[in-house]
Structures are given as C-alpha cells and as structure tokens.
Amino acid sequence: MSQHSLDTKSYSPYITFNREEWKRLRDATPLSLREADLMKLRGLNEQISLEEVAEIYLPLSRLLNLHVGARQELYNATYTFLNNRTQKVPYIIGIGGSVAVGKSTTARILQALLARWPNHPKVELVTTDGFLYPNRILEQRGIMKRKGFPESYDVRKLIEFMARVKSGDPEVKAPVYSHLAYDIVPGEYQIVRQPDIVIVEGLNVLQIAKGTRKKHTPQVFVSDFFDFSIYVDAREQDIANWYVERFKMLRHTAFQKAESYFHRYANLTDEEAVSTATRIWREINLLNLRENIVPTKDRAQLILEKAADHSVQRVMMRKL
C-alpha cells in the first residue's frame, strides 16, 4: 500500500465521546432545571433524570451556546461592515431521528436550557408535523399509510417557512398539528417572531431528495437552513420496544378521548395492543426508519446514541 493511501477503516468524520468524557465538557455550566421543570418536558415513557440532563444536555447546551455566540459576533462584524444594513436572523438547530426515539424530549430540554443563557433568551421550537399534508389529501393520494414518509410532507410550504425565518421576517406562521386528531388543525398557527434560536424537530429534517430531477434545476433542502444539526439514535429493537410501550400507555390516556383518531384502540388487551403496535411499527415506522431516516444520520453534526433505558451512552461530534 502506498504511504499516501487512506486507511478508510480507521477514518471517521466524528470525534467520539463516551458518557464520562462528554459530561466533563459541562465545565461549570449550572443546572438551572428543577425536577418540576423536567416533569413537563419528559416524553410519555421516558424517565429522563436530572442527572441525565446534567451529564448530557448541559454540555450540549454549552456547545450550542458557544456556536450561537460565535454567530452573533460574526453578525456584529457584518453589521458594522455593511453600515447597519443587515437583518439579524435566528440560529437554527435541526433535530432528527426515528418515531419514538425521543426527539421531542431532546428538543424540549434543549429549548429550556438554551433559553436560560443570557445572550439568547428567546428560543422557539417548531415541529415539522405541522407541515404534513392534511389527512384528506393523504387519503386522496392513497398514501395515508405512508404518513411521516418524505412524500407526506408539504415540502414547498416547509421550505418557504424556513426561508422566511432565516431571512429575518418579523412574523412567520407555522401550521399546527394535533396528535389527538392525527391531523392538521384548520386555521391554527404557531407564530414565530424573530427569536434568537429556532429548534426544528422532525423525522426527515436531514432528508435530501431521492431519484432523478430535471437537469440544472437547483434544489433546496430543509437542512440547508440549519446552523447545527443533531440526530437522536438507538438500536432498532430498542426503538421498537419504546414504540410498543408508548402505544400501550396511550390506551389509558389519549386513546380514551372520544375525539382521538385512535380511540378504537382504547380497550385493547395488553396482548392485542402489543400485536397491533408491532404490526404498525413493522409495516410503517420501521420501513420509514430504514429507507429514509437512518440514511440521513451521517449528515448530522452531532449524534446522540441511546441505550435501552433512553440514557445517552455515546456522543459523536463532527470534526471541524
């Protein structure tokens, strides 16, 4: 082998940290969340502790704070150079990963922690669920069972939203999705008004187009607007277990409500619930995970690898 040949087996674009190594990067960052705060941020079947927040999410919030600070300094320099002609724009963080992997909890915890840093107190969280096509359109197109797959999103509307936020538009509207109704809420919007940081969370936020396109036609992806991106990762079997457990718990909560789209599952026995959830997982969510979500993992700047108990055991950070 030539001395100039690259040993691809030993090469990685990431720096890898085990839990002990990562938690030391917290430095002196104070833990400002309390147990009562954390209870509001946890997912239905995620028992994330304050210790987890201190050891994993505080170092991550410190890293992101440094990135945001550097971007703010660059803005100030550009502002001076252009004689006050530039519009300050939000720092955008994308969070991707599978159904049931804990993206939403990660996003909520980061939102709470980042809002406590004095130089960027206004942090908005937007989920891409609001940009799913309404059920009536999915049904018309025969893709209701592919909800959450790339083709089920109004990508044009999502890109327009991202472009307006990133251009510093004073007020941008995002559609609202109801997990209870399993559909878009007509006439209801989340208003984003020039925050310091926007966290965008969703299954396919790191997705790029597949297949052919017209020659010389420029393409824009959601991730083009991100300043930083995170992928929440875990073993397939662990995610499947979390999905089934969440489904079983929902029988006694959201599914009990008559207006719930899944009300028909409220009275399933444990055995029936496991069978139903496992079938939905295999036919829809596992397929989407393998085909569309996992292939985007290596596009993230930071990967959080979870163990079976939802605790993060390894962090991979892309080298600069």
pLDDT at 221: 94
pLDDT at 76: 84
> What mean pLDDT do residues 310-318 have?
97
Q: What are the C-alpha distances in Å from 294 to residues 203, 204, 206, 258?
A: 10, 10, 10, 35
318 versus 85: the higher-pLDDT residue is 318
217 versus 277: the higher-pLDDT residue is 277
Q: Which CATH number fits domain 14-207+215-318: 3.40.605.10, 3.40.50.300, 3.90.700.10, 3.30.70.1400?
A: 3.40.50.300
Question: What confidence category does residue 189 fall into, taking pLDDT thresholds of 50, 70 and 90?
Answer: very high
pLDDT at 227 over 50: yes
pLDDT at 212 over 50: no
pLDDT at 144: 96
pLDDT at 53: 93
pLDDT at 8: 46
Domain parsing of the chain, residue ranges: 14-207+215-318
78 versus 169: the higher-pLDDT residue is 169
pLDDT at 303 over 90: yes
pLDDT at 210: 63
> What mean pLDDT do residues 304-309 have?
97
pLDDT at 211 over 70: no
CA distance 172 to 126: 11
> What mean pLDDT do residues 160-177 have?
96
pLDDT at 20: 96
The verdict on pTM exceeding 0.85 is: yes
204 versus 9: the higher-pLDDT residue is 204
What is the percent of the chain with per-residue pLDDT over 90, rounded to a whole number? Answer: 78
Q: What is the pLDDT of residues 18-61, one digit of tens each?
A: 999 999 999 888 888 888 888 888 876 777 899 999 999 999 99
> What mean pLDDT do residues 53-78 have?
92
pLDDT at 217: 55
Question: What confidence category does residue 87 fall into, taking pLDDT thresholds of 50, 70 and 90?
Answer: confident
> What mean pLDDT do residues 192-215 have?
83
> What mean pLDDT do residues 140-166 have?
96
Q: What is the pLDDT of residues 238-294, one digit of tens each?
A: 999 999 999 999 999 999 999 999 999 999 999 999 999 999 999 999 999 999 999
Question: What confidence category does residue 4 fall into, taking pLDDT thresholds of 50, 70 and 90?
Answer: very low
